[in-house]
Chains A and B, each alone.
Chain A
Amino acid sequence: MGWFILLGCFALLLIIGMPVAYALGIAALSSFVYEGLPLLIGFQRIVSGVSVFSLLAIPFFIFAGELMLHGGIASRLVSLASSAVGWAKGGLGQVNVLSSMLFGGISGSAVADVSALGSLLIPVMKEKGYIAEYAVNVTVTSSVAGIMIPPSHNMILFVVAAGGGISVSSLFMAGLIPGILMCLCLGAAARWVAIRNNYPTEKFPGWSVVLYAAITAFPGLFTAVIIVGGALSGVFTVTESGAIGCIYAIVVCVFVYRSLTLASFIVAVKNAVRTTGMVMILVGCASAFGYMLVLYDVPSELTKLLYMISDNPIIILLMMNLMLLVLGMIMDMGALILICTPIFLPVAVGLGMDPIQFGVMLMMNLGLGLCTPPVGSCLFVGCAIGNVPIQRAVRTIWPFYLAILLTLMLITFVPSMSLFLPNLLDV
């Protein structure tokens, strides 16, 4: 009965439109009351859920992403991508994917990626004769690279939700190959659509322009090297490398690019604290919710249920993927990482899957959820920028969904896709 109150209350609150974070907290507190546990402990769990040292990297990554967005790094990366791949068929689609790979890799946020690159590229694509839906679809789906390519604050959420024992550096490295592969698949899908619709091709600007764009973009790109390299080499902890990344981004944007004004800095800080607040209250409330989930033994009950349906690992993995995809369509990524990790991770480990591989699979699954209606923040932002109704955008998005799903299947069934780099680098 207790678990029914917990999950039922949560579902009911979600249905009436309660913010996800508070729905988690209130559902958990309702269970506390039902079980006769003091509410004081419930609130203490919420506060202690936020007060975790490894979570400190999250505000730093979010802030670094905002600094890049407002400090001129994004536009330099677009110039680099434009000069490098703009000459291909449907060139701006390829530019969009490559820019997402570069920018998303640094900022670690899919929504920041869509905001930054969408506002730069979607208007240009429309101007050059590309259909608005195509521009939105490429921008939205390629933003998933921000979650997969390190650094990614969602990966830190996963590590915390998994209850420790997983190295952030390993997970960062594990996401790299799948992230790049996904971008290649998306690039292929973008090209296929471009050929079908006979989209224009840009002229190759010459190697000197490519070299100049690369040199100009290099200081910005180096932010990712500092964050990931610092953590991998052991020079900094992940948290410290996030902070140093922020300081470096400020220095580059102020002294090298000279494009970060006081006003844009204030906007960047405000946006960063706003997003941090949203994510962290979610973490705190999910911590209390997770406490009750474990108390009711929900993870092992789900494992039993899945084994009742089938004992074939392939079927179970496909079912897990399907459940995550459906959940990703209706709920926010951060909340799902925090709720689903303690539930599904033991099932995956029981099937012999490495926790790191599961983490990468979870990221891609929920990343796809950000691009699907009815609740997809990247899709919302992309459609708002492109001024395209959501229902029109999703009518032509299927080649891009297929590209991500193909990568997802490879991650699920080919462990070396995610485990090769962590094993090679021994992190």
Chain B
Amino acid sequence: MDRKISLHPYLDRCLDALAAICTGLSALSMIVLVSTFGWLVYGRYVLNDTPTWVEQLALLMMITISFMSSATGVRERTHLAVDIVPMLCGAKSQIVLRMLCDFILMIFGVLMAVKSNELMQFSWYKEIPLLAIPEGIRYIPVLISGVLVALFSAASLLGGAISLFSDSDSDPVLNPDVSGLKNKAEE
């Protein structure tokens, strides 16, 4: 739940832009999701012609929102974690624990990207019923999410390493707080 570590202003901006694009895509998917369900109800009760493709499209949008936003959550550190032990640790230990998490998460992200790529290729020649598009498309958001999780974790890992070997007393990671929740409250 602690704040992200600053790496390099230019790199930070690039990674933040990537996270913002993901949020934008998820937001767009949410609007499409609500609109298609509105259309479903309108079609059923007004046009007397229920659009059958809505369900499959909605599931595709759901996967997009879930995986894209969860990758953004890794960058923005909004995922819920149990911070009791890290908060009890000293400054350097906190950074080490965080680097360990980042490292494991990076491997998870790489595996997610590799395996979802396999799943995508495996199911590319099957079609999603009623949408007539390749089933493999379902795994594209997962693949992107895997790449982004690995990228964001690697950046955080690198930032942690830099702050570990520099003047750590001034680093924001030493002041873990509930910034994510505070931001939510302020919004």
Contacts and interface: CB of A to CB of B under 8 A. Distances in A.
B6 interface: no
Contacts of B34: 60, 63, 243, 246-247
Interface range, A side: 35 or more
B30 A63 contact: yes
A308 B71 CA distance: 44
Interface in B65-79: 65-74, 76, 78-79
A79 B147 CA distance: 48
B187 A17 contact: no
Contacts of B79: 19-22, 278, 281
B182 to A, nearest CB: 4
Interface stretch (A160-168, A263-271, A317-325, A402-410): A263-271
Contacts of B26: 273, 276-277
A26 interface: yes
Given A43-B142, A247-B38, A266-B27, A18 B81 contact: yes
Interface in A42-56: 42-44, 47, 50-51, 53, 55-56
Most buried by A among B40, B112, B185: B185
Interface in A192-232: none
Interface in A372-399: 374-375, 377, 380-381, 384-385
A352 B72 CA distance: 44
B176 to A, nearest CB: 9
A269 to B, nearest CB: 4
B41 A280 contact: no
Contacts of A244: 37-38, 41
B30 A20 contact: no
B72 A274 contact: yes
A260 interface: no
- The dominant DSSP class at the B interface is helix
Contacts of A111: 181, 184
Given A20-B82, A43-B119, A332-B80, A119 B185 contact: yes
Nearest to B107: A26
A331 interface: yes
Nearest to B82: A14
Given A19-B80, A59-B30, A118 B70 contact: no
B181 A276 contact: no
A276 B69 contact: yes
Contacts of B112: 43
Nearest to A16: B97
B185 to A, nearest CB: 5
